[in-house]
Structure 1
Amino acid sequence: MDLRHLRYIIASARNGSFSAAAQELNVRQPIVSKRVKEVEDEFGVCLFDRSKSGASLTAAGEAFVVIAQRIIEDTERLGEQTKASGAGRVGRIVVGFYMSLSTGSLRAALHNFRKCYREIDIEPFEAPYTELAAGLHAGRIDVAILLGDPGRCDIFNSLAMRSELLVVALPKDHPLADRPFVYWPELKGERFLVSHHDPGPDIRIILERYLAAPSDHPEILMRSLSRESILSEVGSGEGISLQCETAAGLTDLGIVFKPVHDGNGLTRLGYMACWKPTNTNPVVKTFIDFIDSSTDSFESH
Protein backbone atom coordinates (compact mmCIF):
# COMPACT_ATOMS: atom_id res chain seq x y z
CA MET A 1 0.00 0.00 0.00
CA ASP A 2 1.25 3.50 -0.83
CA LEU A 3 -0.16 7.03 -0.82
CA ARG A 4 -1.76 6.44 -4.21
CA HIS A 5 -3.95 3.73 -2.69
CA LEU A 6 -5.05 6.09 0.07
CA ARG A 7 -5.93 8.82 -2.42
CA TYR A 8 -8.08 6.39 -4.45
CA ILE A 9 -9.94 5.25 -1.33
CA ILE A 10 -10.51 8.80 -0.06
CA ALA A 11 -11.78 9.94 -3.48
CA SER A 12 -14.11 6.93 -3.70
CA ALA A 13 -15.50 7.69 -0.26
CA ARG A 14 -15.97 11.34 -1.15
CA ASN A 15 -17.76 10.59 -4.43
CA GLY A 16 -19.64 7.46 -3.32
CA SER A 17 -18.57 5.79 -6.55
CA PHE A 18 -15.43 4.21 -8.01
CA SER A 19 -16.23 5.60 -11.47
CA ALA A 20 -16.75 9.13 -10.13
CA ALA A 21 -13.48 8.86 -8.18
CA ALA A 22 -11.73 7.73 -11.37
CA GLN A 23 -13.11 10.74 -13.23
CA GLU A 24 -11.90 13.09 -10.46
CA LEU A 25 -8.41 11.56 -10.47
CA ASN A 26 -8.28 11.30 -14.27
CA VAL A 27 -7.67 7.54 -14.35
CA ARG A 28 -9.70 4.56 -15.60
CA GLN A 29 -12.35 3.13 -13.28
CA PRO A 30 -10.86 -0.42 -13.20
CA ILE A 31 -7.66 1.04 -11.79
CA VAL A 32 -9.49 2.58 -8.84
CA SER A 33 -11.39 -0.64 -8.19
CA LYS A 34 -8.16 -2.63 -8.33
CA ARG A 35 -6.30 -0.36 -5.88
CA VAL A 36 -9.17 -0.43 -3.39
CA LYS A 37 -9.33 -4.22 -3.60
CA GLU A 38 -5.55 -4.47 -3.04
CA VAL A 39 -5.87 -2.63 0.26
CA GLU A 40 -8.88 -4.69 1.32
CA ASP A 41 -6.97 -7.89 0.60
CA GLU A 42 -3.85 -6.63 2.40
CA PHE A 43 -5.76 -5.92 5.63
CA GLY A 44 -8.44 -8.57 5.28
CA VAL A 45 -11.35 -6.15 5.61
CA CYS A 46 -14.09 -4.82 3.38
CA LEU A 47 -13.90 -1.04 3.10
CA PHE A 48 -16.85 -0.50 0.75
CA ASP A 49 -20.29 -2.00 0.24
CA ARG A 50 -20.61 -2.19 -3.54
CA SER A 51 -23.94 -1.88 -5.35
CA LYS A 52 -25.22 -0.85 -8.74
CA SER A 53 -25.83 2.65 -7.38
CA GLY A 54 -22.26 3.08 -6.22
CA ALA A 55 -19.99 2.31 -3.26
CA SER A 56 -20.58 3.25 0.38
CA LEU A 57 -18.15 2.92 3.28
CA THR A 58 -18.45 0.11 5.78
CA ALA A 59 -17.76 0.80 9.48
CA ALA A 60 -14.19 -0.38 8.95
CA GLY A 61 -13.97 1.83 5.85
CA GLU A 62 -15.10 4.92 7.75
CA ALA A 63 -12.39 4.41 10.39
CA PHE A 64 -9.82 3.76 7.64
CA VAL A 65 -10.68 6.94 5.73
CA VAL A 66 -10.31 9.12 8.84
CA ILE A 67 -6.74 7.90 9.38
CA ALA A 68 -5.94 7.89 5.65
CA GLN A 69 -7.02 11.53 5.36
CA ARG A 70 -4.79 12.42 8.28
CA ILE A 71 -1.84 10.64 6.67
CA ILE A 72 -2.37 12.48 3.37
CA GLU A 73 -2.61 15.86 5.12
CA ASP A 74 0.51 15.15 7.21
CA THR A 75 2.39 14.06 4.11
CA GLU A 76 1.41 17.23 2.27
CA ARG A 77 2.49 19.36 5.24
CA LEU A 78 5.76 17.45 5.38
CA GLY A 79 6.36 18.14 1.70
CA GLU A 80 5.58 21.83 2.10
CA GLN A 81 7.81 22.03 5.18
CA THR A 82 10.66 20.30 3.38
CA LYS A 83 10.38 22.57 0.35
CA ALA A 84 10.24 25.63 2.60
CA SER A 85 13.28 24.42 4.52
CA GLY A 86 15.20 23.82 1.32
CA ALA A 87 14.25 27.30 0.12
CA GLY A 88 15.45 28.86 3.38
CA ARG A 89 12.00 29.93 4.60
CA VAL A 90 12.02 27.58 7.59
CA GLY A 91 14.89 26.65 9.87
CA ARG A 92 17.44 28.19 12.22
CA ILE A 93 20.34 30.63 11.88
CA VAL A 94 22.96 31.81 14.38
CA VAL A 95 23.98 35.46 13.90
CA GLY A 96 27.09 36.62 15.73
CA PHE A 97 27.99 40.22 16.53
CA TYR A 98 30.02 42.41 18.88
CA MET A 99 28.41 43.22 22.21
CA SER A 100 28.51 46.90 21.27
CA LEU A 101 26.06 46.17 18.43
CA SER A 102 23.43 44.58 20.67
CA THR A 103 21.28 47.71 20.48
CA GLY A 104 20.18 50.15 17.81
CA SER A 105 20.07 49.31 14.14
CA LEU A 106 21.14 45.67 14.39
CA ARG A 107 18.42 44.91 16.91
CA ALA A 108 15.90 46.59 14.59
CA ALA A 109 17.12 44.52 11.63
CA LEU A 110 16.82 41.24 13.55
CA HIS A 111 13.34 42.25 14.69
CA ASN A 112 12.26 42.99 11.12
CA PHE A 113 13.70 39.70 9.88
CA ARG A 114 11.76 37.78 12.53
CA LYS A 115 8.55 39.55 11.49
CA CYS A 116 9.08 38.57 7.85
CA TYR A 117 10.18 34.98 8.54
CA ARG A 118 8.28 33.77 11.59
CA GLU A 119 9.20 30.13 10.93
CA ILE A 120 12.93 30.85 11.10
CA ASP A 121 14.52 30.70 14.54
CA ILE A 122 17.23 33.37 14.65
CA GLU A 123 19.69 32.95 17.52
CA PRO A 124 21.81 36.03 18.39
CA PHE A 125 25.35 35.35 19.61
CA GLU A 126 27.49 38.06 21.25
CA ALA A 127 31.25 37.50 21.23
CA PRO A 128 34.62 39.16 20.50
CA TYR A 129 35.96 39.20 16.94
CA THR A 130 38.30 36.22 17.45
CA GLU A 131 35.48 34.06 18.78
CA LEU A 132 33.16 35.14 15.97
CA ALA A 133 35.77 34.24 13.34
CA ALA A 134 36.41 30.88 15.01
CA GLY A 135 32.68 30.23 15.17
CA LEU A 136 32.33 30.91 11.45
CA HIS A 137 35.19 28.51 10.71
CA ALA A 138 33.74 25.76 12.90
CA GLY A 139 30.17 26.22 11.69
CA ARG A 140 28.83 27.23 15.11
CA ILE A 141 27.92 30.66 13.71
CA ASP A 142 26.21 31.06 10.34
CA VAL A 143 26.65 34.82 9.83
CA ALA A 144 28.78 37.33 11.74
CA ILE A 145 28.33 41.11 11.70
CA LEU A 146 31.84 42.57 11.83
CA LEU A 147 33.44 45.96 11.71
CA GLY A 148 35.16 46.86 8.46
CA ASP A 149 34.72 46.69 4.72
CA PRO A 150 34.26 43.57 2.54
CA GLY A 151 37.63 42.01 1.87
CA ARG A 152 38.92 42.35 5.42
CA CYS A 153 38.19 38.64 5.86
CA ASP A 154 39.10 37.22 2.47
CA ILE A 155 38.41 33.63 3.56
CA PHE A 156 34.72 34.44 4.08
CA ASN A 157 32.01 35.74 1.79
CA SER A 158 31.01 39.23 2.84
CA LEU A 159 28.38 41.87 2.20
CA ALA A 160 28.79 45.57 2.89
CA MET A 161 26.17 46.97 5.21
CA ARG A 162 25.06 50.43 6.25
CA SER A 163 27.75 52.37 8.07
CA GLU A 164 27.40 54.13 11.41
CA LEU A 165 28.52 57.58 12.43
CA LEU A 166 31.50 57.88 14.72
CA VAL A 167 30.79 60.07 17.73
CA VAL A 168 33.04 61.37 20.46
CA ALA A 169 31.79 61.06 24.02
CA LEU A 170 32.63 64.16 26.07
CA PRO A 171 31.95 65.22 29.65
CA LYS A 172 29.10 67.73 29.71
CA ASP A 173 31.47 70.46 30.90
CA HIS A 174 34.02 69.85 28.13
CA PRO A 175 34.89 72.94 26.01
CA LEU A 176 33.65 71.14 22.87
CA ALA A 177 30.39 69.93 24.40
CA ASP A 178 28.30 72.76 22.92
CA ARG A 179 29.50 72.25 19.33
CA PRO A 180 27.13 70.64 16.78
CA PHE A 181 30.07 68.48 15.70
CA VAL A 182 33.81 68.23 16.31
CA TYR A 183 36.71 68.34 13.83
CA TRP A 184 39.48 65.78 14.23
CA PRO A 185 42.26 68.37 14.78
CA GLU A 186 40.30 69.70 17.77
CA LEU A 187 40.80 66.35 19.48
CA LYS A 188 44.59 66.51 19.47
CA GLY A 189 46.00 66.49 22.99
CA GLU A 190 42.98 64.67 24.43
CA ARG A 191 43.20 61.47 26.46
CA PHE A 192 41.14 58.71 24.84
CA LEU A 193 39.65 55.85 26.82
CA VAL A 194 39.23 52.73 24.66
CA SER A 195 37.92 49.31 25.63
CA HIS A 196 39.96 46.17 25.00
CA HIS A 197 36.65 44.61 23.91
CA ASP A 198 35.55 44.81 20.29
CA PRO A 199 35.36 47.12 18.47
CA GLY A 200 37.93 48.83 20.73
CA PRO A 201 41.02 47.67 18.77
CA ASP A 202 39.49 49.03 15.55
CA ILE A 203 38.65 52.31 17.28
CA ARG A 204 42.29 52.61 18.29
CA ILE A 205 43.40 52.17 14.66
CA ILE A 206 41.01 54.94 13.60
CA LEU A 207 42.34 57.29 16.28
CA GLU A 208 45.89 56.68 15.17
CA ARG A 209 44.95 57.17 11.53
CA TYR A 210 43.42 60.60 12.13
CA LEU A 211 45.49 61.93 15.04
CA ALA A 212 48.97 60.38 14.82
CA ALA A 213 51.74 62.53 13.39
CA PRO A 214 55.50 61.96 12.94
CA SER A 215 56.18 64.01 16.04
CA ASP A 216 53.43 62.80 18.34
CA HIS A 217 50.76 60.18 18.92
CA PRO A 218 47.37 60.45 20.60
CA GLU A 219 47.20 59.43 24.24
CA ILE A 220 45.18 56.22 24.17
CA LEU A 221 44.45 54.30 27.36
CA MET A 222 43.20 50.76 26.74
CA ARG A 223 40.92 49.51 29.49
CA SER A 224 39.36 46.11 30.21
CA LEU A 225 35.98 47.74 30.66
CA SER A 226 32.59 47.49 28.99
CA ARG A 227 31.33 50.33 26.83
CA GLU A 228 29.08 51.54 29.64
CA SER A 229 31.97 51.56 32.11
CA ILE A 230 34.18 53.45 29.65
CA LEU A 231 31.47 56.08 29.26
CA SER A 232 31.05 56.29 33.02
CA GLU A 233 34.77 57.07 33.24
CA VAL A 234 34.29 59.79 30.64
CA GLY A 235 31.50 61.28 32.74
CA SER A 236 33.88 61.30 35.69
CA GLY A 237 36.36 63.40 33.73
CA GLU A 238 38.97 60.70 33.17
CA GLY A 239 39.14 61.31 29.43
CA ILE A 240 37.01 61.18 26.28
CA SER A 241 36.03 58.24 24.09
CA LEU A 242 35.36 57.55 20.42
CA GLN A 243 32.25 55.43 19.97
CA CYS A 244 29.86 54.09 17.38
CA GLU A 245 26.59 56.01 17.25
CA THR A 246 24.70 53.15 18.92
CA ALA A 247 26.22 54.41 22.19
CA ALA A 248 24.45 57.75 21.84
CA GLY A 249 21.36 56.45 23.61
CA LEU A 250 23.31 56.24 26.88
CA THR A 251 22.68 59.83 27.98
CA ASP A 252 22.40 59.47 31.77
CA LEU A 253 26.13 59.26 32.47
CA GLY A 254 26.97 62.96 32.51
CA ILE A 255 28.22 62.95 28.93
CA VAL A 256 27.30 64.26 25.49
CA PHE A 257 27.93 62.74 22.07
CA LYS A 258 29.17 64.78 19.11
CA PRO A 259 29.71 63.56 15.51
CA VAL A 260 33.31 63.79 14.28
CA HIS A 261 34.04 65.70 11.05
CA ASP A 262 37.14 65.04 8.93
CA GLY A 263 36.83 68.14 6.71
CA ASN A 264 35.04 66.28 3.94
CA GLY A 265 32.10 65.14 5.98
CA LEU A 266 31.09 63.23 9.06
CA THR A 267 33.27 60.20 9.81
CA ARG A 268 31.52 56.89 9.35
CA LEU A 269 32.38 53.33 10.25
CA GLY A 270 31.38 50.46 7.97
CA TYR A 271 30.05 47.05 8.94
CA MET A 272 29.83 43.86 6.94
CA ALA A 273 28.05 40.53 7.15
CA CYS A 274 30.41 37.56 6.78
CA TRP A 275 29.66 33.90 6.21
CA LYS A 276 31.60 30.78 5.27
CA PRO A 277 31.41 29.95 1.52
CA THR A 278 30.83 26.26 2.31
CA ASN A 279 27.95 26.89 4.71
CA THR A 280 25.04 24.76 3.44
CA ASN A 281 22.34 26.24 5.67
CA PRO A 282 19.72 27.55 3.18
CA VAL A 283 18.57 30.14 5.73
CA VAL A 284 21.90 31.97 5.30
CA LYS A 285 20.94 33.04 1.77
CA THR A 286 17.53 34.16 3.00
CA PHE A 287 19.14 36.26 5.73
CA ILE A 288 21.80 37.77 3.45
CA ASP A 289 19.21 38.59 0.77
CA PHE A 290 17.05 40.25 3.42
CA ILE A 291 19.95 42.34 4.72
CA ASP A 292 21.01 43.26 1.19
CA SER A 293 17.52 44.47 0.30
CA SER A 294 16.88 46.13 3.67
CA THR A 295 20.04 48.10 4.28
CA ASP A 296 17.96 50.94 5.70
CA SER A 297 17.59 48.73 8.78
CA PHE A 298 21.21 49.54 9.51
CA GLU A 299 20.93 53.23 8.82
CA SER A 300 21.05 55.57 11.75
CA HIS A 301 17.88 57.12 13.06
Structure 2
Amino acid sequence: MGDIDRNPQQRSLLEFKRAVPQIELVTVERSRTRLAAALRNGGLDVVIVTGKLPLLDNKSISLWSERVLVALPHDHPLAPHDTIYWTDLRGETVLLSHDDPGSELENLLISKLVSPEDRPKIERHDVSRGMIKGLISTNTGVSLVLESEMGINYAGLIYRELRDGAGPSRFEFSAYWRADNENPALAAFLKLLSERYPSPPLGR
Protein backbone atom coordinates (compact mmCIF):
# COMPACT_ATOMS: atom_id res chain seq x y z
CA MET A 1 0.00 0.00 0.00
CA GLY A 2 1.08 3.62 -0.41
CA ASP A 3 1.68 6.24 2.23
CA ILE A 4 -0.41 5.55 5.29
CA ASP A 5 -2.30 7.79 7.66
CA ARG A 6 0.11 9.45 10.05
CA ASN A 7 -1.17 7.18 12.82
CA PRO A 8 -3.50 4.48 11.43
CA GLN A 9 -4.06 2.90 14.83
CA GLN A 10 -5.37 6.14 16.34
CA ARG A 11 -7.42 6.81 13.22
CA SER A 12 -9.10 3.41 13.45
CA LEU A 13 -9.94 3.89 17.13
CA LEU A 14 -11.41 7.33 16.52
CA GLU A 15 -13.48 6.04 13.63
CA PHE A 16 -14.77 3.18 15.77
CA LYS A 17 -15.60 5.54 18.65
CA ARG A 18 -17.62 7.75 16.31
CA ALA A 19 -19.45 4.75 14.85
CA VAL A 20 -20.25 3.14 18.23
CA PRO A 21 -20.13 5.96 20.82
CA GLN A 22 -21.84 3.90 23.53
CA ILE A 23 -18.85 1.56 23.80
CA GLU A 24 -16.13 2.53 26.27
CA LEU A 25 -12.69 2.10 24.74
CA VAL A 26 -9.66 1.44 26.93
CA THR A 27 -6.22 1.33 25.32
CA VAL A 28 -2.96 0.06 26.82
CA GLU A 29 0.66 0.16 25.70
CA ARG A 30 2.82 -2.65 27.07
CA SER A 31 5.60 -4.99 26.00
CA ARG A 32 4.68 -7.67 23.48
CA THR A 33 5.01 -10.35 26.21
CA ARG A 34 2.60 -8.55 28.56
CA LEU A 35 0.14 -7.85 25.76
CA ALA A 36 0.16 -11.53 24.78
CA ALA A 37 -0.44 -12.56 28.40
CA ALA A 38 -3.33 -10.10 28.76
CA LEU A 39 -4.91 -11.36 25.54
CA ARG A 40 -4.52 -14.97 26.64
CA ASN A 41 -6.04 -14.22 30.08
CA GLY A 42 -8.96 -12.25 28.70
CA GLY A 43 -7.72 -8.90 29.97
CA LEU A 44 -7.65 -7.54 26.40
CA ASP A 45 -10.00 -8.17 23.51
CA VAL A 46 -7.61 -7.35 20.69
CA VAL A 47 -3.88 -6.62 20.31
CA ILE A 48 -2.34 -4.72 17.39
CA VAL A 49 1.40 -5.32 17.00
CA THR A 50 4.15 -5.66 14.43
CA GLY A 51 5.26 -9.12 13.44
CA LYS A 52 3.88 -12.35 14.86
CA LEU A 53 2.20 -12.97 18.20
CA PRO A 54 2.52 -16.74 18.73
CA LEU A 55 -0.48 -17.80 20.77
CA LEU A 56 -2.65 -20.90 20.68
CA ASP A 57 -6.30 -20.54 19.71
CA ASN A 58 -5.97 -17.01 18.38
CA LYS A 59 -7.03 -15.44 15.11
CA SER A 60 -5.43 -12.59 13.21
CA ILE A 61 -5.81 -10.25 10.26
CA SER A 62 -3.13 -8.26 8.47
CA LEU A 63 -3.60 -4.50 8.63
CA TRP A 64 -1.19 -1.82 7.42
CA SER A 65 2.54 -1.52 6.93
CA GLU A 66 4.90 1.29 7.89
CA ARG A 67 8.25 2.35 6.52
CA VAL A 68 11.33 2.27 8.77
CA LEU A 69 12.90 5.71 9.16
CA VAL A 70 16.00 7.09 10.82
CA ALA A 71 15.49 9.94 13.30
CA LEU A 72 18.35 12.45 13.25
CA PRO A 73 19.30 15.76 14.87
CA HIS A 74 18.51 18.54 12.39
CA ASP A 75 22.22 19.43 12.08
CA HIS A 76 23.43 15.86 11.50
CA PRO A 77 25.72 15.35 8.46
CA LEU A 78 23.14 12.96 6.94
CA ALA A 79 20.26 15.41 7.40
CA PRO A 80 20.58 17.06 3.94
CA HIS A 81 19.93 13.70 2.22
CA ASP A 82 16.32 12.92 1.28
CA THR A 83 17.03 9.20 1.46
CA ILE A 84 19.53 7.39 3.66
CA TYR A 85 20.88 3.91 2.96
CA TRP A 86 21.51 1.34 5.66
CA THR A 87 25.20 1.42 4.79
CA ASP A 88 25.24 5.16 5.61
CA LEU A 89 24.75 4.24 9.27
CA ARG A 90 28.25 2.83 9.54
CA GLY A 91 30.14 4.74 12.22
CA GLU A 92 26.94 6.07 13.82
CA THR A 93 25.57 5.34 17.28
CA VAL A 94 22.03 3.97 17.05
CA LEU A 95 19.91 4.42 20.17
CA LEU A 96 17.13 1.88 20.70
CA SER A 97 14.55 1.44 23.42
CA HIS A 98 13.94 -1.90 25.10
CA ASP A 99 10.26 -1.20 24.35
CA ASP A 100 8.75 -2.80 21.27
CA PRO A 101 9.60 -2.68 18.45
CA GLY A 102 13.17 -1.98 19.60
CA SER A 103 14.36 -5.58 19.34
CA GLU A 104 12.73 -6.02 15.93
CA LEU A 105 14.41 -2.86 14.66
CA GLU A 106 17.74 -4.13 15.93
CA ASN A 107 17.22 -7.49 14.19
CA LEU A 108 16.35 -5.67 10.98
CA LEU A 109 19.49 -3.54 11.19
CA ILE A 110 21.65 -6.64 11.72
CA SER A 111 20.00 -8.37 8.75
CA LYS A 112 20.71 -5.36 6.52
CA LEU A 113 24.32 -4.97 7.68
CA VAL A 114 25.52 -8.55 8.02
CA SER A 115 29.21 -7.75 8.50
CA PRO A 116 29.90 -6.53 12.07
CA GLU A 117 32.43 -3.97 10.84
CA ASP A 118 29.72 -2.37 8.68
CA ARG A 119 27.31 -1.96 11.58
CA PRO A 120 26.87 1.13 13.71
CA LYS A 121 27.31 1.01 17.45
CA ILE A 122 24.00 0.00 19.07
CA GLU A 123 23.02 1.37 22.48
CA ARG A 124 19.98 -0.12 24.19
CA HIS A 125 18.23 2.04 26.79
CA ASP A 126 15.57 0.98 29.28
CA VAL A 127 13.50 4.09 28.58
CA SER A 128 10.48 5.00 26.46
CA ARG A 129 10.77 5.83 22.77
CA GLY A 130 10.00 9.44 23.71
CA MET A 131 13.08 9.54 25.92
CA ILE A 132 15.15 8.15 23.04
CA LYS A 133 14.08 11.15 20.97
CA GLY A 134 15.23 13.43 23.75
CA LEU A 135 18.66 11.78 23.63
CA ILE A 136 18.82 12.22 19.85
CA SER A 137 18.14 15.93 20.18
CA THR A 138 21.25 16.24 22.35
CA ASN A 139 23.38 14.73 19.54
CA THR A 140 23.92 11.51 21.48
CA GLY A 141 23.11 9.41 18.43
CA VAL A 142 20.41 8.55 15.90
CA SER A 143 17.54 6.06 16.12
CA LEU A 144 15.30 3.83 14.02
CA VAL A 145 11.59 4.57 14.16
CA LEU A 146 8.40 3.65 12.36
CA GLU A 147 6.60 6.01 10.03
CA SER A 148 3.72 6.82 12.38
CA GLU A 149 6.17 8.33 14.87
CA MET A 150 6.70 11.27 12.52
CA GLY A 151 3.44 12.64 13.90
CA ILE A 152 4.99 12.99 17.36
CA ASN A 153 6.84 16.28 17.03
CA TYR A 154 10.09 16.73 18.90
CA ALA A 155 12.08 19.92 18.49
CA GLY A 156 15.30 19.54 16.56
CA LEU A 157 14.57 16.13 14.99
CA ILE A 158 14.12 15.20 11.36
CA TYR A 159 13.16 11.88 9.77
CA ARG A 160 14.56 10.24 6.67
CA GLU A 161 13.55 7.04 4.88
CA LEU A 162 15.97 4.12 5.14
CA ARG A 163 16.57 2.14 1.96
CA ASP A 164 18.64 -0.61 0.46
CA GLY A 165 18.86 -1.80 -3.14
CA ALA A 166 15.35 -3.27 -2.92
CA GLY A 167 13.76 -0.05 -1.69
CA PRO A 168 12.35 1.00 1.69
CA SER A 169 12.06 -1.44 4.59
CA ARG A 170 8.58 -1.92 6.04
CA PHE A 171 7.03 -3.44 9.17
CA GLU A 172 3.66 -5.17 8.92
CA PHE A 173 1.00 -4.65 11.60
CA SER A 174 -1.62 -7.27 12.46
CA ALA A 175 -4.56 -7.56 14.86
CA TYR A 176 -4.81 -10.63 17.11
CA TRP A 177 -7.75 -11.85 19.19
CA ARG A 178 -8.89 -15.02 20.90
CA ALA A 179 -10.99 -17.33 18.75
CA ASP A 180 -13.43 -17.91 21.63
CA ASN A 181 -14.00 -14.19 22.32
CA GLU A 182 -17.69 -13.47 21.62
CA ASN A 183 -17.67 -9.83 22.71
CA PRO A 184 -19.96 -7.99 20.24
CA ALA A 185 -17.82 -4.86 20.56
CA LEU A 186 -14.82 -6.86 19.35
CA ALA A 187 -16.82 -8.16 16.39
CA ALA A 188 -17.78 -4.59 15.46
CA PHE A 189 -14.18 -3.38 15.72
CA LEU A 190 -12.87 -6.26 13.61
CA LYS A 191 -15.52 -5.49 10.98
CA LEU A 192 -14.27 -1.89 10.85
CA LEU A 193 -10.65 -3.06 10.50
CA SER A 194 -11.50 -5.53 7.73
CA GLU A 195 -13.31 -2.77 5.81
CA ARG A 196 -10.55 -0.24 6.37
CA TYR A 197 -7.71 -2.66 5.54
CA PRO A 198 -9.13 -5.27 3.16
CA SER A 199 -6.98 -8.26 2.30
CA PRO A 200 -5.46 -8.13 -1.18
CA PRO A 201 -6.94 -10.50 -3.79
CA LEU A 202 -5.27 -13.90 -4.03
CA GLY A 203 -2.38 -14.01 -6.46
CA ARG A 204 -1.12 -10.50 -5.68
Instruction: State the one-letter code of the partner of 1:244.
Output: L
Provide the C-alpha distance between the structure 2 equivalents of 1:135 and 1:278, rounded to a whole number of angstroms.
15
**Deviation above 6 Å: which 4+ runs of structure 1?**
none
Measure how far apart 1:148 and its partner are: 1.1
Instruction: State the one-letter code of the partner of 1:226.
Output: S
1:153 has 2:46 as partner? no
The residue aligned with 1:127 is 30
Provide the C-alpha distance between the structure 1 equivalents of 2:186 and 2:114, rounded to a whole number of angstroms.
40
The residue aligned with 1:76 is none
Kept in 2, the 8 Å contact 1:231–1:253? The answer is: no
The residue aligned with 1:114 is 17
The residue aligned with 2:167 is 265
More strand by share: 2
Kept in 2, the 8 Å contact 1:212–1:218? The answer is: no
The residue aligned with 1:274 is 176
1:242 has 2:144 as partner? yes
RMSD: 1.9
Instruction: State the one-letter code of the partner of 1:284.
Output: L
Measure how far apart 1:162 and its partner are: 0.5
Q: Runs of 5+ in structure 1 lacking a partner?
A: 1-102, 297-301
Kept in 1, the 8 Å contact 2:133–2:154? The answer is: no
Provide the C-alpha distance between the structure 2 equivalents of 1:294 and 1:221, rounded to a whole number of angstroms.
37
The residue aligned with 1:219 is 121
* SS at 1:146 equivalent: strand
TM-score normalised over the length of structure 2? 0.86
Aligned residues with identical type, % of pairs:
32
Alignment of structure 1 residues 1-301 onto 2, 5 Å: 104-148=7-51, 152-155=53-56, 156-213=58-115, 217-295=119-197
Instruction: State the one-letter code of the partner of 1:107.
Output: Q
Provide the C-alpha distance between the structure 1 equivalents of 2:164 and 2:25, rounded to a whole number of angstroms.
38
Measure how far apart 1:215 and its partner are: 5.3
Kept in 2, the 8 Å contact 1:207–1:218? The answer is: no
Larger Rg: 1
Summarize the Cα distance change of 1:260–1:293 in structure 2 as closer, same or farther, 3 Å threshold: same
TM-score normalised over the length of structure 1? 0.60
The residue aligned with 1:23 is none
Instruction: State the one-letter code of the partner of 1:160.
Output: S
1:85-144: per-residue Cα shift (whole Å, max 9, x none)? xxxxxxxxxxxxxxxxxx822111100011112232222122211111000110010000
Q: Runs of 5+ in structure 2 lacking a partner?
A: 1-5, 199-204
More helix by share: 1
Provide the C-alpha distance between the structure 1 equivalents of 2:95 and 2:167, rounded to a whole number of angstroms.
24
